[in-house]
Amino acid sequence: MTEPAPGGITSIGLALTGGALRWSARRKGTTVVDTSELGLKLADGTELGTAGTVLTGFEHGRVDATWQPAYGRNARVSDQFTPVGSRTFDSQTSYVLPVGGRHGTTYV
């Protein structure tokens, strides 16, 4: 699955290959992060997202908001981004592994 940012300049991809999570990123049609493993290694050595992972859901949307930070008299931030997230289940450990992020933020 690939999700473009507002304006289509960047995109983030998420895939399951052989039960393992992978991600990638492109900007202006050029790969900036090639397909790479995406997982977690916990303190006890347990690895999540590396094998036996099943995609159980996907969410995405668009946010176009303006907010004022605590500093700057005339400061204003226009925050435009695409939040993306997936819900995955690691069948080897029975952990639910949410994966989420946002991209495409612009500031004015």
Query: Is 2-103 a CATH 2.30.110.10 domain?
Result: no
Query: If pLDDT is split at 50, 70 and 90, which confidence band does 32 have?
Result: very high
Residue whose C-alpha is closest to residue 92's, from 15, 39, 24, 22 = 39
- Taking only the tens place, the pLDDT of each residue in 41-71 is 889 988 888 888 887 777 777 778 888 888 7
- Taking only the tens place, the pLDDT of each residue in 20-31 is 888 888 998 899
Residue whose C-alpha is closest to residue 10's, from 22, 24, 26 = 26
52: phi then psi, degrees, rounded to nearest 5: 70, 20
- For 33-43, what is the mean pLDDT? 87
- Taking only the tens place, the pLDDT of each residue in 76-108 is 877 777 777 777 788 888 887 777 766 555 444
pLDDT at 107: 43
pLDDT at 105: 52
Query: If pLDDT is split at 50, 70 and 90, which confidence band does 34 have?
Result: very high
Residue whose C-alpha is closest to residue 104's, from 83, 76, 75 = 83
Query: If pLDDT is split at 50, 70 and 90, which confidence band does 6 have?
Result: low
